[in-house]
Structure 1
Amino acid sequence: MIEELLQNKKHDEARQGEAYAPFALDPNNYKRRFYIESYGCQMNFSDSEIVASILQGEGFGATRNFEDADLILLNTCSIREKAEQTVRKRLTEFRKLKQSRPAMLVGVLGCMAERLKSKFLEEEKLVDLVVGPDAYRTLPGLIAEADGGQKSINVLLSREETYADISPVRLNSNGITAFVSIMRGCNNMCAFCVVPFTRGRERSRDVKSIMAECQDLYDAGYKEVTLLGQNVDSYYYVGEDNKPVTFAALLERVALISPGLRVRFSTSHPKDITDDVLHTMAEYENICKYIHLPLQSGSSRVLQMMNRNYSREWYMAKVDRIREIMPDCGISSDIIAGFCTETEDEHKETVSLMEYAKYDMSYMFFYSERPGTLAQRRYQDDVPEDVKKRRLVEIVETQNRLSLQSNKDDLGKTFKVLIEATSKRSETDWMGRSSQNKVIVFPKEKYDLKPGDYVNVKVNDCTQATLLGEIVQVF
C-alpha cells in the first residue's frame, strides 16, 4: 500500500536517492575515464559537476558505462537510511567488478564520506578513497595515492570553501536548465538533520562569481538557473566594497541578466524568507513564482523538539504572507511522519496544516534516526515503525488529494511555459514547466519549436502530477 502511494510523488527523483550517469564528455580524448553516480539533494548533483570539472582538468573523461571506467565515484547522501542502504549495495556490486579489474579505483564522496569513513576503508574494504564535500580540490592527490595502493581519505570541513572559481561541467545537461550553487553548509542545527555535521557551517559564495556563472550560462543558451543552497534565504555576502548583498538583492541581480532567463531557488527555511524576497519575486516576471517551504511537522511542540525555530501559527502566517504578496505562488513542502514522541493528535495537526497550506506537492517521509544528529543524542525514537508508516500513508493520501485539486484549479488557465524536452510518453508532445513549477505536457502540433523556447499553454485537462494543455501563443 505505502509503496504504491509513494510512486505518485516522484516530482524530484534526486530526493528519492536515484542515481544518474554523467553526460559523456568524449572519453576518448582523455587518458582515463571516470563514472559518477549522485544520490540525495540537488546540492549533491551540483557538487558532482564540480568534481567532473576537477577530474577533467586532470586528464579524466566521463563515461556513461561504469564497466569502462578507471575510476568509479558515488556522491552520497546521509539524509535517509534508504539512501545509505542503496549506496552500500552499489559499492558491493562495484567490489565484485574490481576483483576482475584490480587497477580500477572506487571512491565515496559527499555526506556519507565523513560519517562512515573508517567502515568503508578499513572494516568493509569497499572503497579506495573517501572524500568529503569540502575536499574535492584534493582529489588529484588522493587518486595518485590510491593508484599507489594506499587508502586515501580527506573529510576535513572548511569555513571558507565554496568552489567559486571552478566552472562546473554540466552533467546530463539538457542545455536549458542548470543549477548554480550560491552557498554551502548550514547553521540551523535541526534535530533530525546531519547536514551541519557532514557539510559544515554556512558560508556564502562570492557574488561576482555567481553572476559570472549565471551570465555564462545565459550566453551559452541556457534559459533557466536554479540558485542552490541548504538555506538560500540566509545568503549574505560582503565584498571588498563592504556593502552586503542579501538573497533578495542577489535574486534581483540574476533576474536583471535578461528577461529571457528564468530564475528559481531552493531550498528556503521558513524562518528566513523575508518580505524583501517575496516583493522581489513579485516584481520580476522571470523570477518563478514557486517556493519550497519545508514544514516537517504541523505541531508546535514537535517543531520545538526539531529545533525548527517557528511555531504552527507562525508558519501559517508565513503562508498567508506569501499568498498576500503573490496570490499565484506555488508552494511545496517537506514533511516527516512519526518524529520522536509524536502523538496521534500531533500527527492530525500536520495533516490539518497541509490542508491549510494547500501544497501543490510535498516530499514525505517517515522519521529515520540518523547517527550523530541532535535527535539521536537527545531523544528516543519511540514511535513504532508500523505507526510511522500508517501516518505517512495518511499524509501521502492527503497530498495526493491536494495535488489533484491544485491541478484542477488550473483548468482553463493559461501559463507561460519554458519548453524543456520532448515528453517521455510521446514523441508528438512537448514537456515544460510553468512558473509555479508544475509540469505541463502539450502537443507539438505544427509549430517550429525547440527546447528553450517559451510558449503560452492553455490547460485543458490534468492528472494528479501533470497539467495537459495546448499552445495558444508562441513568443
Structure 2
Amino acid sequence: MSTLDKQTPQQTSGKEKKVFIKTFGCQMNVYDSERMSDALAKDGYSETTNVDDADLVLLNTCHIREKAAEKVYSDLGRINKTKEKRLAAGGKDMKVAVAGCVAQAEGKEILRRSPVVDLVIGPQTYHQLPNALERVHQGKRVVETEFTEDDKFEHLPKAEKKQIRSRGVTAFLTVQEGCDKFCTFCVVPYTRGSEVSRPANQLISEAESLVAAGVREITLLGQNVNAWHGEGGDGREWGLGELLHELAKIEGLDRLRYTTSHPRDMDQSLINAHRDIEKLMPYLHLPVQSGSDKILKSMNRRHTRDEYIKLMKRIRDVRPDLALSGDFIVGFPGETEEDFEDTLDLIRQVEYAQAYSFKYSPRPGTPGADFDNHVPEDIKADRLKRLQTLLAEQQLAFSQQCVGKDIDLLLEKKGKREGQLIGRSPWLQSVIVDAKESQIGDIIKVRITRAAPNSLEADII
C-alpha cells in the first residue's frame, strides 16, 4: 500500500474540547483516524489543525518502514515541549495518545520511554477509545493492545453527514483487516492480526451513508483486500467480486476502487468484475515485490514471476485500458545483481503506470531480519535509483499516452491557483483543470492537454 504522513484535514467546529490527529502510513490508517475522530466527536471533541490548541493529541502510527518507532518518539519529544510551555504559561492540560501499529508493537515500552504519553491503543481496540480516555482522565496511564473478539466496527458510531462532507467527495472504506500471508519482510500479521472480513450488509450500509452525504467515489481497503470473504446478504460467503457488484448498485455511487491486493487472491470472479462493472475504475495496485523467483521464495510470497506475468495478461485481456501499480523491495537479503536484473526485466515486460519502491529495511520480529547475506546499503541505494529511474520513465510514458484523450474527471478540491481545481482520472492520476469551486463533486468531461511527471493538465470540453 502506498504511504503518506498527513494531518487529518478537517476544520474545527468551535466545540470546547479539541483533538489534534496526526496520521502516519497507509490509507487504512487514514480511515482509522477518521473513525476515531467520529468516536471522539460523540464525546464532545472537534478536530483542530493546531497542536497548540489541542486538549488531546493523537498520533496514529505506522510500523511498516524502518525507524518508524523512532519517528514517533521524536514527535512525542516535541509534543512534550509544547505541553510544558502551555502548562508553564498557565494553560490547560494536554492528554497524549499513541494509536496504530507502533502502539501495538511497542505497548508499555511507549509509556516507559515517553512519560508524556497517557494512552497507548492498538488498531484492533480503537473502538474502546472513549472509555480508555475516561480512565486517563481519572489519572491512569492506559495500554489497550489486546486483540479482542469484538467486532470493533459494530461498536463504532456512524459519522454525521457534516463530518463526511468535510472530508470530501471521495472516501475510504475498510472491508478487511489483517494478513495470513506472513511474508518474511512484513510486520502486518503481528500488528494487525489474522485476516478478518467484515460482513457485506455492514459494508453496504456504511457505503450508503457515505453516498447519502455526498461521496461519489469509494476505495475499499484491506491489508489483503482481495482476500475479503465476508457473509453476503443471502447468507452465503461472498468474494470481493460479488461485493463490488452489490456496491455498484448504490445509486449516486459513481466510482469504485480497491487496494491493496495480493496476486494469490486474484480469483476469476474479481477479474471478471473488472470486465463487467463500469463503475470499477481501470486501475489495479497489485504488488509483486521482486522479479526473481529465488527472492520471491525467500520472501514467502508463494507465487512465481511467471505466474504474476500470466495473471496480469489475464486481467488485461478483460480490461485492456487497465493501469497497473505495484510495490518493489530492492536489496532483500541474498539479492544478487542477477536477481535485481530479473526485477528490472519483469518491470519492462509488465509496464507500470505507477509504483512504490523501497530499500529493504529489517523489521524486528520478522523472519527476514534474521536472514544472512544482508545487502550493503550502498548497493541497495544504487539499485533503488536504477529501479526508480525505470519506473519513472514508464509512469511518464503512460501519462503521455493520455494526452489528447477525452476522459471523465471527478473534481475533488481546489488547486494552487485561483480558479483551478484538481481531480482524479479513472487511472488515479492527479488532473488540473480550470473550473469553478462550485463544481467540486461533479464528474465532467475533459480533454488531456499536457502530461507532467506527477500530474496531467486538461481543458473542459
Using structure 2 for the length normalisation, give the TM-score: 0.93
Equivalent position to 2:123, from 133, 139, 145: 133
Matches of 1:110 and 1:171, distance apart in 2: 22
Gaps of 5+ in 2: 88-92
Equivalent position to 2:40, from 55, 60, 63: 55
In the alignment, residue 381 of structure 2 is paired with which amino acid? K
Equivalent position to 1:117, from 95, 107, 119: 107
CA contact 1:214–1:254 (8 Å) conserved in 2: yes
Across the aligned residues of Structure 1 and Structure 2, the Cα RMSD in angstroms comes to 2.0
Deviation of the 1:147 alpha carbon: 2.4
Equivalent position to 2:135, from 145, 167, 171: 145
**1:257-276 matches, cutoff 5 A:** 257-258=250-251, 260-276=253-269
Matches of 1:439 and 1:148, distance apart in 2: 47
Matches of 2:220 and 2:153, distance apart in 1: 15
Deviation of the 1:99 alpha carbon: 2.1
Q: Does 2:398 match 1:406? A: yes
Equivalent position to 1:315, from 308, 311, 317: 308
Matches of 2:235 and 2:100, distance apart in 1: 33
Residue 388 to residue 178, structure 1, CA distance change in 2 (3 Å): same
In the alignment, residue 112 of structure 2 is paired with which amino acid? E
Q: Does 2:424 match 1:443? A: no
Identity %: 34
**Which residue in the other structure is 2:3 paired with?**
15
Matches of 2:181 and 2:388, distance apart in 1: 27
Equivalent position to 1:458, from 426, 432, 447: 447
Structure 1 SS opposite 2:284: strand
In the alignment, residue 139 of structure 1 is paired with which amino acid? L
Using structure 1 for the length normalisation, give the TM-score: 0.91
In the alignment, residue 234 of structure 1 is paired with which amino acid? A
Structure 2 SS opposite 1:19: strand
Deviations 1:239-264 (A, max 9, x none): 58531121100001111113652111
Gaps of 5+ in 1: 1-11
Matches of 1:181 and 1:73, distance apart in 2: 20
Matches of 1:335 and 1:406, distance apart in 2: 19
CA contact 2:224–2:261 (8 Å) conserved in 1: yes
Equivalent position to 2:78, from 64, 72, 93: 93
CA contact 1:226–1:263 (8 Å) conserved in 2: yes
CA contact 2:164–2:210 (8 Å) conserved in 1: no
Matches of 2:213 and 2:233, distance apart in 1: 29
Deviation of the 1:50 alpha carbon: 1.3
CA contact 1:73–1:107 (8 Å) conserved in 2: yes
Deviation of the 1:125 alpha carbon: 2.7
Equivalent position to 2:385, from 393, 418, 436: 393
Matches of 1:372 and 1:431, distance apart in 2: 42
**1:216-235 matches, cutoff 5 A:** 216-235=209-228
Residue 436 to residue 164, structure 1, CA distance change in 2 (3 Å): farther
**1:363-402 matches, cutoff 5 A:** 363-377=356-370, 379-380=371-372, 382-402=374-394
**Which residue in the other structure is 2:90 paired with?**
none
CA contact 1:442–1:471 (8 Å) conserved in 2: yes
Structure 2 SS opposite 1:288: coil
Deviation of the 1:162 alpha carbon: 4.4
Deviation of the 1:97 alpha carbon: 1.7
Matches of 2:279 and 2:366, distance apart in 1: 38
